[in-house]
Amino acid sequence: MRRLLAALAAAALIAPAALAQGAPSGKLVLYTSQPNTDAQQTIDAFKVKYPDIEISFVRDGTPRILAKLRAEIQAGQPQADVLLIADSVTMESLRGEGLLLAHDEADISAYPAGLHDPQKHWFATKLITTGIVYNTKAPMKPSSWADLAKPEAKGQVTMPSPLTSGAALIHTVTLTSNLPEGWKFYEALEANGALAAGGNGDILKKVAGGEKLYGMIVDFMPIREKAKGAPVEFVFPKEGVSAVTEPVAILKSTGNPEAAKALVDFLLSKDGQELAAKQGYVPAHPDVALPAGYPPRGDIKIMAFDAGKALAEEASNKKRFEDIFTR
């Protein structure tokens, strides 16, 4: 009996250790284009779930992150385990080069079709849409993309250039693929004196300051600034909006695939998606409520976008845009 009790006691001590050994652990490096605050919040929330994973991050814009990663790969010393960057076109390029590890067990059953790579190499984590921002003193209150080409908006429209911004290129491709007028829409904008230059921060500054009255911009920036008192309004046009999805992917070269999969699973989980909403973004998960300042999810129409097709036609789309705005 004493031997049996001793054996049971030993088993009770061993069981928690065995369970702990089954959980992901070790080091993990995230390369991300998220703002520093968002990246740190993401890591902090992840570590609550996985305290045995020592995770660090490197933050920069997507082009710089990719340049750093490619230099490391060329040197035979890739440092990143997981990528969380701006757009699916970049991820599709990396997938095509065979640099991403498929996460076949990822649970995406709650998500609508078309958000993630069907082969599970990359996964959408947010819906950062691009719509119309306008100054509250503007005489016209736009509700349609077509409004930006009206005489009332002549010389008063500004937007990021797809020649320098991946998100702007996705937006351009989305509009030209979904609007009935296609590229003629951008020809009408150019004829109406639209300015294509700078990033989203520049657009917000110009419109909030009254230098321009209308702009194309990602949703969260004017919504946040309006809450702080800025004289701006954001519109989700009736035809629909484009969206970058801030996808996450695992590098095939990772030395800790189980920890990397745990991070992807967290970002796709309800907890991870609720964190995205708390940070002020539209969560990709259809059952997670939108942040304050947004309309009901059903009122936001996301236009169709084919990342593979956009990647194949990237050069020709940039050339067509350049021809329109530099003629």
* 21 pLDDT above the threshold of 80: no
Contact 206, 213 (CB under 8 A): no
Residue 131 and residue 105: Cα distance in Å, rounded? 35
Residue 10: pLDDT band by 50, 70, 90 thresholds? very low
* 20 pLDDT above the threshold of 60: no
pLDDT 10s digits, 114-156: 899 999 999 999 999 999 999 999 999 999 999 999 999 999 9
pLDDT 10s digits, 180-229: 999 999 999 999 999 998 889 999 999 999 999 999 999 999 999 999 99
* 59 pLDDT above the threshold of 50: yes
Residue 236 and residue 218: Cα distance in Å, rounded? 10
Residue 262 and residue 244: Cα distance in Å, rounded? 23
Torsions phi, psi for 216 (to 5 deg): -95, 130
- Crossing angle of helices 36-49 and 270-278, rounded to 10°: 150
What's residue 63's pLDDT? 85
What's residue 211's pLDDT? 97
More confident residue, 16 or 279: 279
Strands 82-84 and 26-32 come out as: parallel
pLDDT 10s digits, 227-238: 999 999 999 999
CA 288 to chain centre: 16
Residue 62: pLDDT band by 50, 70, 90 thresholds? confident
Contact 172, 194 (CB under 8 A): no
Residue 165: pLDDT band by 50, 70, 90 thresholds? confident
pLDDT 10s digits, 268-323: 999 999 999 999 999 999 999 999 999 999 999 999 999 889 999 999 999 999 99
Query: Which residue blocks in 194-278 are alpha helix, DSSP H?
Result: 200-208, 220-227, 257-268, 270-278
Q: Provide the phi-psi class of 69: left if phi over 0, else alpha when psi is between -120 and 50, else beta.
A: alpha
More confident residue, 183 or 62: 183
Beta partners for residue 160, in sequence order: none
What's residue 9's pLDDT? 44
| pTM (two decimals) | 0.83
Cα atoms in the 13 Å half-sphere on the side-chain side of 130 = 27
pLDDT 10s digits, 63-86: 889 999 999 999 999 999 999 998
What's residue 19's pLDDT? 39
Residue 61 and residue 80: Cα distance in Å, rounded? 15
What's residue 61's pLDDT? 85
More confident residue, 279 or 3: 279
Contact 152, 142 (CB under 8 A): no
What's residue 167's pLDDT? 87
The DSSP element (H or E) to which 65 belongs, if any, is: helix 62-74
Average pLDDT over residues 42-61: 96
